[in-house]
Amino acid sequence: MKDFISIHDLSIPEVKKILDLAADLKKNPIQNWLHGKSLALIFEKPSTRTRVSFEAGMFQLGGTTIHLSPNAVQLGVRESIADVARTLSRYVEGVMLRTFDHNDLLEFAKFATVPVINGLSDLLHPCQALADVFTIKEKKGLKNIKVAYIGDGNNVCHSLMFACAKVGLNLTIATPKGFEPQAKIVKPAFEDAQQTGVEIDILNDPVMAASGADVIYTDVWASMGQEKEVKSRKSKFKSFQINQQLVKLAKPDYIFMHCLPAHRGLEVTDEVIDSKNSAVFDQAENRLHVQKAILAMLLGGK
């Protein structure tokens, strides 16, 4: 594993190793495995959980981080992506990039000689998805579990498809028509699912998706960069809101998940996200442990 760009690129044993190492690090958080090593953090999109979890994680592993804002780097504007990648590779042991265009991430990784971590792109959010399946494993286990993702077929949905396929979780996706996950993700995700015997269903019916679910997951209806679509999406996604009426169709002990930040009153109601079934803050915490495992494997040779 040279880079961490997509869960699809990982073998099933590599995914298992990350999750097992994350569990160990959750129990024993302070290690000195990355002493003297640095991780550059490039943010073209703002972040709370991604920045804090990576900075805290590197510190707990004995390393340090260098935060680079959009104005400081200006990838492809002030300097070519290739030149930034080559330069930073001379200074640090790894780079985390949170960006818009997934192709920029691929280009950066192509020219970097140190490991590159996908902190989020418009296409994929692999750190989040591995934290998600880690949380499901903690709360429910991984056998005979139905995960229902209800909302936009976005980057989180894409990576969740890959993650569920790798660990053996059945996944039902329900989106409004026209908002399904992209075909270029669906095809390889289905191929991964065939290897593990996982069922991935893509529907346009939130009721069918929620029925009998062990896990109900949603995300914002309009992601960063889609602000102009907020008004139109509100009407199209109205029936996909996670509310008390919908979650009653799930199993009584279902867990609710959201990658945060949540738009309360839109994709989810307060009574659901604040209920005893909600695992959103455990899910957010687990970003730290899973990313530490990724860092240890990429930068420390674990």
Based on the residue annotation, tell me whether 125 is a catalytic residue of this protein. yes
132 catalytic? Reply is no
Active-site pick, 49, 219, 241, 291: 219
Nearest to 35 by CA among 1, 58, 54: 58
DSSP class of residue 151 equals S
Tokens representing 136 are 């499901």
> Which of the following is catalytic: 8, 49, 102, 125?
125
Residue whose tokens read 């949603």: 218
Cβ-based neighbours of 52, under 8 Å, separated by 6 or more = none
Peptide bond into 46 cis (omega under 30): no
Q: Which of 178, 237, 249, 155 is nearest to 209 (CA)?
A: 249
> Of these residues, 214, 241, 259, 289, which one is catalytic?
259
Q: Is 282 a catalytic residue?
A: no
> Which residue in 3, 102, 128, 214 is the catalytic one?
128
Based on the residue annotation, tell me whether 98 is a catalytic residue of this protein: yes
C-alpha distances out from residue 30 to 33, 117, 289, 298, 302, Å? 9, 21, 11, 18, 15
CA-CA distance, 99 to 91, in Å (whole number)?
A: 21
Has 86 been annotated as catalytic?
no
Question: Do 80 and 110 form a contact (C-beta atoms < 8 A)?
Answer: no
With b meaning 16 or more CB within 10 Å and e meaning fewer, what string describes 172-205? bbbbbeebbbeeebbeebeebbeeeebebebeee
Q: Are 212 and 247 a contacting pair, CB within 8 Å?
A: no
Active site residue 128: yes
Catalytic residue among 8, 49, 158, 287: 287
Let me know: does 294 contact 127? Beta carbons within 8 Å: yes
Q: Give, as one character, the DSSP assignment of residue 230.
A: H
Q: Out of 98, 102, 158, 289, which one is annotated catalytic? A: 98
Q: What residues are labeled active site? A: 98, 125, 128, 219, 259, 287
